[in-house]
Amino acid sequence: MKKTSIAPANIAFIKYWGKIDANQNIPVNDSISMNLSACLTTTTVEFDKKYKKDEISYVTKEMSKDGKERVIRHLDRIRKIAKSSLYAKVVTTNSFPSSCGIASSASGFASLSKAATAALNLDLSEKDLSNLSRFGSGSACRSIPDGFTYWKKGKKSEDSYAYSLKPANWWNICDIIVIVSEEKKKISSGDGHKRVNTSPYFKTRVKNLPNKIKGVKDAMKEKNMKKLGKIIEEEAVDLHLIAMSSTPPIFYWEKETLDVIKRIQLWREEGIEVYFTIDAGPNVHILCEGHEKENVLEKLKTLPYKIKTIINVPAKGVRQIENHLF
């Protein structure tokens, strides 16, 4: 009853920011994202009578009390479906810094859902696995299917899950994450979601979304980087506009965040086709087609402060692997 799985984080082109139902993570709007090939979480889960309580940890360090409780709540959901009362040992590891705006909760809950359901011999469909992962962390539902994924908010919980819009090999684009800070963010995305209705601009955001969603779908179909780039930048600004105008306000950006944004605008004027997006954190995702990658990496060498980069291409969704972590 031991299984291991690996799941990618994802970067949203159309953001999930605001929930209709906070307990069930039902979003205000549909969202669209790309799975990230170099931001992976691996999780091994074993259910066994020898465990007298759930044992949860990272490979190299302890997990926070809150983090463990969140994992246990998700194990409880899975035990309920499987009608099992067995405790589990869960060991997990990320290939990238967590809690700084790269969606480690997405890859974390996607890999946990896959490994734990497989360990209890539940053979869930992709749709049901996506639906289940959503309860752990909303954006986790988009890390289940392949490549570029679409999360339809649905009318009720059962209809709220993600499916693949295009496979990973559909479009040779890359996401270069510029890490300007690895510090744990002070305000979780959970708290950000709760505050959206306090922003006077939230209603306008929601009203404009159907057009943007159509734009991203069209851009994906046409492989039109310019069209995609314009919308993903608007979306990133929108998310942060809502965050900054919430009560109390949330400022996720560092000064380097704005500096990278301005440089991207300059590089574009110089003819490099690059665009940015940002999740709930300070780090900037630079999106470009594969042929621009080296140009962007050269430009990044000129930044006058220290950064780390993670280079991603579109990735497959969650999958089971044979190498266990314990």
Told to check if 138 binds ligand PMV by CB under 6 A, we report: yes
Contacts of 122 (CB under 8 A, 6+ apart): 78, 81, 82
Shortest distance (Å) from residue 246 CB to ligand PMV: 13
Q: Which residue reads 């991603």 in tokens?
A: 312
Told to check if 185 binds ligand PMV by CB under 6 A, we report: no
d(CA 52, CA 61): 21
Told to check if 149 binds ligand PMV by CB under 6 A, we report: no
Shortest distance (Å) from residue 230 CB to ligand PMV: 18
Neighbours of 289 (CB within 10 A): 15
Shortest distance (Å) from residue 280 CB to ligand PMV: 4
d(CA 12, CA 149): 9
Judge contact between 181 and 254, C-beta under 8 A.
Answer: yes
248 cis-preceded (ω within 30 degrees of 0): yes
Nearer to ligand PMV, 193 or 263 (CB): 193
From the list 315, 320, 6, the residue with the least C-alpha distance to 166 is: 315
Nearer to ligand PMV, 57 or 105 (CB): 105
Shortest distance (Å) from residue 171 CB to ligand PMV: 19
Q: How many residues does the chain have?
A: 326
Shortest distance (Å) from residue 17 CB to ligand PMV: 6
Told to check if 189 binds ligand PMV by CB under 6 A, we report: yes
**Contact mark string toward ligand PMV, 151..170, x via CB under 6 A:** --------------------
Applying CB under 6 A, the residues found at the interface with ligand PMV are: 12, 15-17, 31, 103, 105-106, 137-139, 189-190, 193, 279-280
